[in-house]
Structure 1
């Protein structure tokens, strides 16, 4: 899966720069443009055709909700995550009714932002996989698309086998990307031993959430590396 292309629509240059840096910390994303007003936003949407827009609501020359409605008509293939200081219930409702994938309140907290982008990346990956496999899907798959890991059976405490903890499992799953990581590397990323990481990785392989491949290095024996299932 190629990096998802992101357009930031934000009138405050300092806030836009913070958002850009946050995006660049998350694997699988690339900022392709920054727009500070309606004209720039519409022009860059036409030219860049981004996968995702990070959209503020308050602008001197427009309401971000108007741009969101315009996008639904002109660029329905582009998704939106609202990042705004607007906390009014009506604004939140209109943003969600307009198709916003998520709604984040300023000042932006990186952990919450990271969860949102990971959920969106998961959503895109699953959607592409389902579109390639079959034209119709069941309720379980719809739930996973809409709610992410919370609707994933492997994330439910009641269905996890002995020795598999929900929080550790979520950390392992979040640490995986298309780069491919060994159990030792995943263990270091999440602060666990190699054997613990491997146990969780093999569980994800058994559940169809990850795949394992052999990597042949310059010296030594081949090593199993793990990637998320696309």
Structure 2
């Protein structure tokens, strides 16, 4: 039996922290050993328990998550980080990439996406522990999200039709800087709004696009999707 992956959750919202804890403990091979609601509290836990993995939000009461990433990289190089956040600003994503974040999960969170991230992380760690020398194929697989031995990009998850997905991708390539909503995509591709939202959220999970809440003239926010910068 492989060693449990010990997890520190850093999230200021107690409800979301509890969801993350329950999700984590539903996945075999993981154990939550502490939860922090501020950056300073997270630093204390890092000193005491030194977890294998940190599940980190961007917006904390006393600092941004990207500041905590820098602290972890400087003081605990062996600790890995997965970000779970609604933040989609380019600067935040850029800092996450440069900080060596192993995955970036965009809220709203689903258990399927959460499980995929943690299982893939554990698979990569086990590959590194079992092999003294890696093949070129195995090295490349470490930089691609995988499930059951196949890259996610080559799979069609339940509810995602490849032909419909291709049609939507071609349309999204034309949206420009103004982005798109599920309603607009629905009208222009002939699919229902719920289907449009499902495909858009799938593309967010694949990092093909990202989402932001944009406030319109009447003050009601709408979820708008934008092409991810290359």
Interval containing the TM-score (normalised by the shorter chain): 0.5 to 0.7
Partner of 1:3: 4
What does residue range 11-50 of structure 1 map to in structure 2 within 5 Å? Answer: 11-50=12-51
Q: TM-score, normalised by structure 1?
A: 0.63
Partner of 1:195: none
Q: Secondary structure at the match of 2:88?
A: coil
Q: Structure 1 residues 166 and 129, CA, compared in 2 at 3 Å: closer, same or farther?
A: farther
Partner of 1:218: none
- The structure with the largest helix share of the pair is 1
Structure 2 residue ranges without an equivalent (≥5) = 158-230
- The 1-side partners of 2:115 and 2:90 are apart by 24
**Deviation of the 1:151 alpha carbon:** 10
Q: TM-score, normalised by structure 2?
A: 0.63
User: What RMSD, in angstroms, separates the aligned Cα atoms of the two structures?
Assistant: 2.2
Structure 1 residue ranges without an equivalent (≥5) = 157-164, 168-230
- The 1-side partners of 2:84 and 2:146 are apart by 22
Bigger Rg over Cα: 1
- The 2-side partners of 1:35 and 1:67 are apart by 12
**Deviation of the 1:89 alpha carbon:** 1.9
Partner of 2:142: 145
Count of matched residue positions in the alignment of Structure 1 and Structure 2: 154
Larger mean Cα displacement after TM superposition, 63-72 or 91-100: 91-100
**Deviation of the 1:90 alpha carbon:** 1.9
Q: Secondary structure at the match of 1:91?
A: helix
1:71 aligns with 2:68: no
Partner of 1:61: 62
Q: Secondary structure at the match of 2:51?
A: coil
Partner of 1:108: 109
CA-to-aligned-CA distance 1:142-192 (integer Å, 9 cap, x gap): 11222253795xx38xxxxxxxx998xxxxxxxxxxxxxxxxxxxxxxxxx
What does residue range 162-177 of structure 1 map to in structure 2 within 5 Å? Answer: none
